[in-house]
Amino acid sequence: MPITPEQRDEIDRLRAVTATTRRATVPALEEILYQPVELLDHGFVRVVDYMGDDAAVVQAARVSYGKGTKKVSEDAGLIKYLMRHRHSTPFEMCEIKFHVKLPIFVARQWIRHRTANVNEYSARYSILDREFYVPAPDQLGAQAVINRQGRGDVLEGEEAAAVLRLLREDSERAYSHYEELLNQREDGTIIDPARQGLARELARMNLPLNYYTQWYWKVDLQNLLHFLSLRADSHAQYEIRVYAEAMLDIVKRWVPAVYEAFTDYRQGGAHLSRNGLDVVKRLLAGEAVTQEVSGLSKREWRELMDQLGRSEG
């Protein structure tokens, strides 16, 4: 259960309070403000605050005194232009703050994106909850053979069952031992009054990487889009991709014109190398180019044919 009834109450209390503001406000985002989008078995992502909207991008690009332009269509056109020509600074003018609950191994990938602000729950200071990630059966991918860092077929039958059993048992045992080390149960009860209990900052090291942590993560729109271009991508690990996809939906609510430009130019497009572009030109000129004469390695050729949607060369 990602959210306890007490947490749900706190969220509801916060959602019930409204104020009047002169700031740019996005009703579609206000609708879901503070609401957790539940992910994996115990995770969530929720928007806690935001600054700016589509018009703020335009306003900054123009360094204007009022709002960007009068017409929404002009704003959208300028935003597309900025995206196409890699003008990054206007997109930095919007900011968003998330509260995220996520497995530690996902947090370790996520934190590699440095241009963001983070406050993480401290397991030096506090005790972690008994919450760990176990993949759903359809996500139990076998090691991929060609792509050394991906997943292949989904495990089935007894192998799958054994994997799940082992993950669950180890995670449960780890938490019981965490309590042992702390000399304290999850509910605060002292186990043995004659013992002192190991320091929290040490006891935590016995927990596996599938345990959940949580943090506040604040980022500007430009860096969020960069994060999403890498993590909402098919090469990203599934467990971080579900977060990225949920955040992409949030971006769509928040800044629809930026979302449109992003999915058109960055997500949906393709980058061709000098040689790749040359191959396209020759193909368009009617030449029957093959990998051998393309100047591309086999791997590059295969990637290019994939991008162009051609089954063979």
Give binding residues for FAD as ranges: 89, 112-114, 120, 226
For the beta sheet containing 212-220, the strands, ordered from the edge strand earlier in sequence to the opposite edge, are: 37-39, 43-51, 95-103, 212-220, 117-120
Instruction: Classify residue 184 by its DSSP letter.
Output: B
253 in active site: no
Binding site feature residues for dUMP: 109-112, 120-124, 204, 231
State the DSSP H helix or E strand holding residue 231, giving kind and residue range, or none if neither: helix 221-231
Among 45, 79, 207, 242, contact with a second copy (rule: CB under 8 A): 207
Site size toward a second copy, by CB under 8 A: 138
Q: Cβ(57)–Cβ(80) under 8 Å?
A: no
**Is 267 in a helix, a strand, or coil?**
helix
Among 41, 130, 253, 280, contact with a second copy (rule: CB under 8 A): 280
Examine residue 237 and tell whether it contacts a second copy (CB under 8 A): yes
In terms of CB distance, is 150 or 256 closer to a second copy?
Answer: 150
**Measured between alpha carbons, how far is 186 from 176 in angstroms, rounded to an integer?**
9
Q: Which of 108, 231, 274, 302 is catalytic?
A: 231
Among 38, 69, 129, 167, contact with a second copy (rule: CB under 8 A): 167
Residue with tokens 């042992």: 180
**Measured between alpha carbons, how far is 152 from 142 in angstroms, rounded to an integer?**
5
In terms of CB distance, is 1 or 142 closer to a second copy?
Answer: 142
Examine residue 69 and tell whether it contacts a second copy (CB under 8 A): no
Give min distance, CB of 203 to a second copy, in A: 8
List the Cα angle 44/174/156 in 5-degree steps: 70
Q: b/e map of 180-196 (b: 16 or more CB within 10 Å)?
A: bbbbbeeeeeeeeeeee
Among 1, 136, 249, 269, contact with a second copy (rule: CB under 8 A): 269
Q: Cβ(214)–Cβ(133) under 8 Å?
A: no
| The dihedral sign for the CA sequence 66, 71, 74, 78 | positive
Examine residue 188 and tell whether it contacts a second copy (CB under 8 A): no
Give min distance, CB of 8 to a second copy, in A: 8
Examine residue 270 and tell whether it contacts a second copy (CB under 8 A): yes
Q: Which of residues 105-164 bind a second copy (CB under 8 A)?
A: 105, 107-108, 111-112, 114-115, 117-122, 124-125, 133, 135, 140-144, 148-153, 155, 159, 162-163
Examine residue 305 and tell whether it contacts a second copy (CB under 8 A): no
Q: Which of residues 242-261 bind a second copy (CB under 8 A)?
A: none
**Is 224 in a helix, a strand, or coil?**
helix
In terms of CB distance, is 115 or 290 closer to a second copy?
Answer: 115
Which pair of tokens denotes residue 154? 């989904």
Among 37, 39, 45, 61, contact with a second copy (rule: CB under 8 A): 61
List residues with catalytic annotation: 231
